[in-house]
Chains A and B, each alone.
Chain A
Amino acid sequence: MWKFIVRRLLITIPQIIILSIIVFILAQMMPGDALSGLIDPSIDPAAVEQQRERLGLNNPWYIQYVDWVGGILQGDFGQSFRFKMPVTELIGQRMVNTVLLSVVTLIFTYLIALPLGLISGRFNDTLLDQAITGYTYIGFATPLFIFSLFMLWIFGYNLGWFPTSGSVAPGTEPGTIAYWLSKVYHALLPGISIALIQVVSTVQYLRSEIIDTKQKDFIITARAKGAGEQRVYNKHIFRNSLLPIAAFFGWEITTLITGTVFVEKIFSYPGMGLLFLESITQRDFSVANSLVLLFGTAQIMGALLSDIILSIVDPRIRIK
């Protein structure tokens, strides 16, 4: 298996290089640059031009690219044109928020998905199952951004149970317990909103997998041996039905850092997704490029992780 992992990692290197070149060229082709938004009569265009020169924005793209890559090889992702701070520091700030939000989402997703999927699969075609599948169909049909707005309106503004924007209450001292509690509190509503919608595919997978498994011969054998119904479900069916979900898990990990643009926007939650969106609209290329590179790497790693997890949980799959 190690051979496989090493080989996969080696393949990712040219993938990432090509990705970075494409991203860089696309970014260059967009009209305007980080300073072109400064169309303001109280700012001297000559001063802007001077800064453009200083930041190297007037150089041809390949020189800028070489500068950028050269920096990355030394661990320096450059300066954000807009925030005027190192990109790594900026991403670090946002990454904390996004990871927190994703963890909350993941916890809620599995907290909802596992029981629902189990019940619905075990008692399939009962009223209870129909109610659960009914929910999954509605979930499939509901766009996440509409649902989030709805949640924000009800639980944020009308009931006032949750904060409506930001990632932490103003004025809390970083590092204290109150600070982290406040951060979790701010991530709850967006996290639950995503989970309630995202969960539906997992529920469906689990349900059909369980229905499938419970008709298999080895289950009949287990029953014939006299195993109790509870034992049959918990030990034999559940374990075998988790395979597709385990495969999914690797992908879910990648969303830990990519974040979700829509939800972050609606909840004004400063995470990676929002940073990405803003860096594109504001032409903050150094940030946008670094983010795409990071996201791309995360995707490739996620795929790899999925394969590895799958090979661990399912001994039948052997990676050669």
Chain B
Amino acid sequence: MKKASLSKLLLAMMLMLILVLAACSSGSDDNAEGDGGSDDGTEEGTDEGEGGSEDGIYSIDDFPAAKTDAGEAIDGGTLNYGLVNSSVFEGILNWNFYQGNPDAHVIQFFDESLLSADENFTYTQDGAATFETSEDNRTFTFTIGDNVNWHDGEPVTAEDWLYSYEIIGHPDYTGIRYDASFRNIEGMDEYHSGDADTISGIEVIDDKTLEISYKEAWPSLLAGGIWAYATPKHIFEDIPIAEMEESAEVRQNPIGMGPFKVESVVPGESVTYTANEDYWKGAPKLDGVTLTVVSPETVVQALESGEIDIAGGGFPTDQYPDVEESLTNVEFLGVIDNAYTYIGFKLGHWDADSSEVVTDPDAKMADVELRRAMWHAVDNNAVGERFYNGLRWNATTLIGPAYPDFYNDEVEAPTYDPDEANRILDEAGYEDVDGDGIRENPDGEELVINFASMEGGDTAEPIANYYIQAWEAVGLKVELLDGRLHEFNAFYDRVEADDPDIDIYQAAWSTGSDVDPSGLYGKEAPFNYSRYSSEENDRLIAEGNSEESFEVEHRQEVYKEWQELMVQDIPVFPTVYRAALTPVNERVTGYSAALDWSEWQEVGVTQEDPVLPE
């Protein structure tokens, strides 16, 4: 008996020892990684560069934007659309009120813009409505097609379109769409403040004709600046505007004028649609669509089992290398996303009283040569290849290739060249005075740059560390703000408040449909987080949205010039552009992932059941 208890005691002690040892060893591993990281990183980087690009590195050029049809579409069939999202959709199914992107995916099937747009997001005359512009470019006359009807058979009228404006401009409106392009309408301010019952600048000429007069002629009006969504007035008329967004007409049984009708909505989870035979572009080939929310963690399995045909709304591209071989039943479509990641330099602060940016010439990052050297010091193609398998790549300008006619591909942006970075810093007076391998500023004082970066995914931390090491390699001491990454809300709270502890930060912009950069880099833009301003910048931004710029060539010239200016002044520098991938089951025909595509009536399937992997 005594012996047994002794052996038990021994066992317990052994177990404890194992635990202690395990804890120690994992700790020391971590340390080793932290210390040796920089050496390993650069070595591997060069290896991979030489090793050839076929080894797990992809290029956006290899992805088609449109689905390659694998046969004739059958008559009918139901498409399963997977909305990739880690949470439910909010279910505010009305263009006037929705906020989140998932809801937009749900709405696109049953309601659409009256105006269609081209690849540069500029309105064309191919939509449900056509328009004419007056001589002074301030008045637009819209004519809605005669065959455009709501799902309940009522025609879509000019009155319905006006109604959208009356909702959004109303003092009781609960959404977030009331912006500068609304305020630019004649009489809108009076209506919004409640002084007028009608909007004087919008006139219903007849059942199908609407005229809108603007105070100023802005070219950006024609690039997504017009609210082109009608609201079925006969449905919503009796609902107070403040209660609309919670009404069943928005959440449970919404109607629209799009190719499919909503049949049923399971809140947050799924929506079923049936074909709208009366659709103005012709009856859809499909009998219906079933939309379900799929989480990014399980989307690959859902594609493999044929549960969903299309994974829309943001397939996690980092999973692509793992599944490219096994998902033989799926074609991956790729387009250049209208987004870029960037490093921003804090150059001033936001003056809330005058609502404008105040640039501080004495800011720590105020020296443009320092900023240029920092751009030269980082190898963004390596970041794209090593962390994103080539599905992100070096960015050059702030108007990306997603806007083909405005993108300035001739801009000479600084590229990876540490020697050049060193030369610039030497010339600008950033010398290593005390011989510790770290440069001091031109006054000989210690220079420590604080870098704020967001957490998110497995790559956020290694990427931030890579940049810090790359800057260290040219003798600049950059430290992570508080020594760690920051959560999204906390990050933007501090960047927005111009926290003096932040000198540089890494963030990303998803740019809207309008190429006009005033919302992100204008002097009056709260989103101008770098707080950069200059006379030249003001001039070009104003010029780009002036009446002369209704001439598209002129507008392109202005914005190309602006892109040059951004490369000269470097208030921020773009790091990578990104690809957006959409996997589509082989049985789907007529689909395209292009950002300006909206031809759901053309989509069909070649067989009743989804194609499964071989």
Q: Closest residue of chain A to B101, judged by CB?
A: A40
A41 touches which of B177, B251, B290, B520 (Cβ 8 Å): B520
A-B pairs with lowest CB-CB distance, top 9: A32-B489, A44-B179, A42-B512, A170-B270, A171-B272, A31-B490, A31-B493, A41-B519, A157-B301
Are the C-beta atoms of B298 and A164 separated by less than 8 Å? Answer: yes
Which of A60-68, A82-90, A196-204, A206-214 lies at the interface with chain B? A82-90
Q: Which of B250-282 contact A (CB under 8 A)?
A: 251, 263-264, 266-272
Find the A residue at minimum CB distance from B274.
Answer: A171
26 A–B contacts from the bound complex (CB under 8 Å): A32-B489, A32-B490, A32-B493, A39-B527, A41-B519, A41-B520, A43-B176, A43-B177, A45-B526, A47-B176, A47-B179, A50-B178, A84-B92, A84-B174, A160-B305, A164-B298, A164-B302, A164-B307, A165-B292, A165-B293, A170-B272, A170-B291, A171-B290, A172-B264, A270-B268, A274-B88
Residue in B174, B294, B298, B305 whose Cβ sees the most chain A Cβ within 10 Å: B298
Of chain B, the residue at the smallest CB distance from A44 is B179
Known A-B contacts A42-B512, A166-B269, A170-B290; A31 and B179 likewise in contact (beta carbons under 8 Å): no
B45-100 at interface with A (beta carbon < 8 Å): 87-88, 90-92, 97, 99-100
Residues of A within 8 A of B292 (CB): 165-166, 170
- Chain B contacts for A156, CB-based, 8 A: 301
Least Cβ–Cβ distance between B121 and chain A, in angstroms = 11
B293→A47 contact, CB < 8 A: no
Question: Beta-carbon contacts of A258-270 to B below 8 Å, as 1s and 0s?
Answer: 0000000110101
CB neighbours of B297 from chain A (8 A): 266
Question: A87: shortest Cβ distance to chain B, in Å?
Answer: 12
- Flag whether B137 is at the interface (Cβ < 8 A): no
| Interchain nearest-CB distance for A69 vs B (Å) | 22
Contacting pair B97 A41 (CB below 8 A): no
Return B171 CB to nearest CB of chain A, in Å.
10
Bound: A172/B264 CA distance, A: 8
Assuming A41-B509, A164-B307, what are 11 further A-B pairs, CB within 8 angstroms? A31-B489, A38-B99, A43-B176, A47-B177, A47-B179, A157-B305, A165-B298, A165-B302, A166-B270, A167-B266, A170-B270
Most B Cβ at <10 Å: residue of A37, A47, A86: A47
Which residues on the A side are within 8 Å of B527 (C-beta)? Answer: 39, 41, 45
Please, which residues of chain A bring their CB within 8 A of the CB of B271?
A: 170
Q: In the bound complex, do residue A84 and residue B293 qualify as a contact, i.e. CB atoms below 8 Å apart?
A: no
- For the complex, what is the distance from the CA of A46 to the CA of B174, rounded to whole Å? 13
Chain A facing B: main interface SS: loop
Complexed CA–CA distance, A31 and B290 (Å): 38
Number of A-B residue pairs, CB cutoff 8 Å, is 132
Q: Could you tell me the distance between the alpha carbons of A170 and B269 in the complex, rounded to whole angstroms? A: 8
Shortest Cβ gap from A220 to chain B (Å)? 26
Bound form: Cα–Cα A172–B290 in Å? 12
Q: How far is the CA of A160 from the CA of B509 in the complex (A)?
A: 40
Residues of B within 8 A of A39 (CB): 492, 527
B246 with A42: CB separation less than 8 A: no
Asked if B514 is at the interface of the complex by the 8 Å CB criterion, the answer is yes
Q: When the two chains form their complex, are residues A36 and B493 in contact, meaning their CB atoms are under 8 A apart?
A: yes
Complex Cα gap A278–B85 (Å) = 12
> Quick check: B492 and A84 within 8 Å, CB to CB?
no
**In the bound complex, how far is the Cα of B592 from the Cα of A54, in angstroms?**
41
Decide if B513 touches A173 in the complex (CB within 8 Å).
Answer: no
Among B90, B251, B266, contact of A170 (Cβ-Cβ < 8 Å): B266
* Contact present for B295 and A165 (CB under 8 Å): yes
Residue of A at shortest CB range from B512?
A42
Q: Which residues between 70 and 121 of chain A lie within 8 Å of chain B, taking CB atoms?
A: 82-86, 93
A243 and B174 CA atoms in complex are apart in Å by: 55
| Whole-angstrom CA separation of A82 from B298 in the bound complex | 25
Please name the residue on chain B nearest to A170 by beta carbon.
Answer: B270
Instruction: Tell me whether B304 is interfacial, beta carbon within 8 Å.
Output: yes
A10 sits at the interface (CB 8 A): no
